Structures are given as structure tokens and as C-alpha cells.
Amino acid sequence: AAKVHLTGGEPFLYWDHLVEILRKAGEQGLGPVDQIETNGFWATDDRLIRDRLSTLTSLGMERLKISVDPFHQEYVDIEPVNRLASLAVEALGPDRVQARWEEYLSEPADIRRLSQGERDRAYVLAYHEYPFRLTGRAAGHPAHLLASRPAETFEHMNCLAGFLGAKGVHIDPYGNVFSGTCSGIILGNVNQTPLEEIWKAFDPRGDGPVGVLCEKGPCGLLEEASDLGYEELPAYAGKCHLCTHVRQFQFENGLWQSVLGPADCYA
């Protein structure tokens, strides 16, 4: 059965909308919402936390996932995160609460007090302890800290398995559909076409960025971008870093406008 996972961004920035999504999911028979993810910024009051957890449970939330790591703690105080984790375990039980990552909940990174050099070392250590995909914002400063391989390292590394083997899809607030691992590459829009039809129409041999990635990987995008003036970096942290960096150039130059988007993913 399909599972629904609500994440962000930060879904609790739009509490009323989050509640409405859960109600609609129930009305349409989508079943329990497997997981809702939050960074806990909002958890400043015990009563507010309990009320919201009660509401979410009544609307079918099965698990609460709390993001906690050096990257989030650069912007979010650890105190409300700890308060949320404690009250959530009390209200929901430990099996329905996941902290990602538990280590940083029990031993929080006091990232705001560190110098930039110390922050950078903390970021690199976090990556090596809990590897993550270097896409989106992670393809910015964190990826540059980790970059060590030239682009040719990723030749013959296509993305076919990534598209066909993704465990899910992401649907953004505009209705755009992405592969579960590749935000910013639009496969369709559920406001225009049912999700089932988008999946049936997906062709990894088609034209455009998806076809190039499925056949050649990001080095295929690099070939096209270089002809238009893209300046290759001396090193990349991985093929996702290469792909994101090249797509940023393509987006900024107005290429593949129906596929590369929305603008939020390239801001």
C-alpha cells in the first residue's frame, strides 16, 4: 500500500494547511499518514505541543520524525527540539517518534557558538557519520567542503536505477512531481495529470534532462552545459553534486524550463 510522508521545508510553518491536508487524505481514503517531519522550531509551549500531537494523531499520523543535526541547529534552538522529543515520546510512545539523528539530540551541536572553521569541521564530521545526498542546499557549502573528485570520475555512472528504483515520489506545493531522490527535475504535475498516469507515461529513454541522466548520468548534462559556457569545478563531492551544479547553470540560462523547476529549488 502507498504511504504518505509529509515533509518540507517545514510543514509546521503552515499548521492550518497541514491539518487540511490530513483531513483531505482521510476523506480520499489514502490511509494513515505514515510520517510527518519537523525541525521542532514551533515547540515552545507544552500545551501547544500536546494539543498539536493530539490533533495529528486524531487525523491519522502514525509517526513523528524530528530533524536534529548540526545543519538544523544552525537555525533552530535545541531547547524546543528537546521539549518536543520528550513530550512526543510521552504522548505517542517511543515507537512512534524518530529523531534524526538521536546522537545530536542527546549531545547537541552548539553550532552557533563555533567559528566558521569549527562549523565546517562539524559539517564534514556529520556527513561522514550520517551520509546524505548532496542535493538542494547540501550541494552548496557542504558539498564544496567535501569536493575531492573531478567530473570525469562520474563518467559511465547513469541515474537509471535512481529514477526507476526510487522508493517514492515527492509532490511539492505546486503539484510538481519529482523522483524521490531528485528535487528540481519535474516529471509531471498532479494538478494537470493523475499521478498514476504520470508514472505510466514516464520514459527513461525520452528527450530532455531525464533521458540524458538515465543514459549518461550527470556527465551527459555536463557535455551540453559546457557547450553553452558552463565552467567545470575543479572537484565535486559526488555525482549528485555535479548534477545539481550543472542544473543550476541550465536553470539560470533558461534551459529545459518545463522540466527544471520550480524556481524555489534553484533559489
**String of DSSP letters for 168-237:** -EEE-TT-EEEETT-TTB--EETTTS-HHHHHHH--TTSSSHHHHHHHHTHHHHHHHHHHTT----S-BS
Question: Are 173 and 258 members of one domain?
Answer: yes
Which of these, 115, 120, 39, 116, lies nearest to 80 by C-alpha position?
39
Structural domain of 259: 152-266
Number of domains in the chain: 2
pLDDT in tens, 207-216: 899 999 999 9
**Which residue type sits at 257?**
Q
Question: In this structure, are 89 and 164 located in the same domain?
Answer: no
Count the Cβ atoms, other than its own, within 10 Å of residue 122. Answer: 19
Beta bridge partners of 218: none
Residue 71 shares a structural domain with residue 159? no
Q: Do 183 and 238 lie in a common domain?
A: yes
**Are residues 102 and 180 located together in one domain of the fold?**
no
Question: What pLDDT, on the 0 to 100 scale, is given for residue 181?
Answer: 81
User: Does residue 244 sit within a domain?
Assistant: yes
Q: Is residue 133 assigned to a domain? A: no
Tell me whether residue 30 is in a domain.
yes
Task: Give tens-digit pLDDT for 106-138.
Answer: 998 889 999 999 999 999 999 999 999 999 999
Nearest to 158 by CA among 227, 243, 236: 243
Between CA 231 and CA 226 the distance in angstroms is: 7
The rounded distance, in Å, linking the Cα atoms of 152 and 258 is 28
Instruction: Decide if 214 is inside a domain.
Output: yes
Note whether residue 134 is domain-resident: no
Among 111, 143, 165, the domain-final residue is 111
156 and 257 in a common domain: yes
Tell whether 128 is covered by a domain: no
Give the chain's residues under pLDDT 50: none
Please tell me the predicted confidence (pLDDT) of residue 180: 85
In Å, what is the CA distance from 117 to each residue of 142, 146, 233? Answer: 12, 14, 22
Q: Is 48 helix (H, G, I), strand (E, B) or coil?
A: helix
Are 166 and 96 part of one and the same domain? no
Residue at which a domain ends, from 111, 136, 163? 111
Asked if the structure places residue 246 within a domain, the reply is yes
Amino acid identity of residue 263, one-letter, is A
Which of residues 84, 111, 138 is at a domain's end? 111
pLDDT confidence of residue 1 = 65
Same domain membership, residue 87 and residue 29? yes
- Residue carrying the nine cell digits 515520489: 169
- Residues 106 and 160 both lie in one domain: no
Query: Nearest-CA neighbor of 119 among 144, 143, 142?
Result: 142
Residue 9 confidence (pLDDT): 84
* Residue 142 included in any domain: no
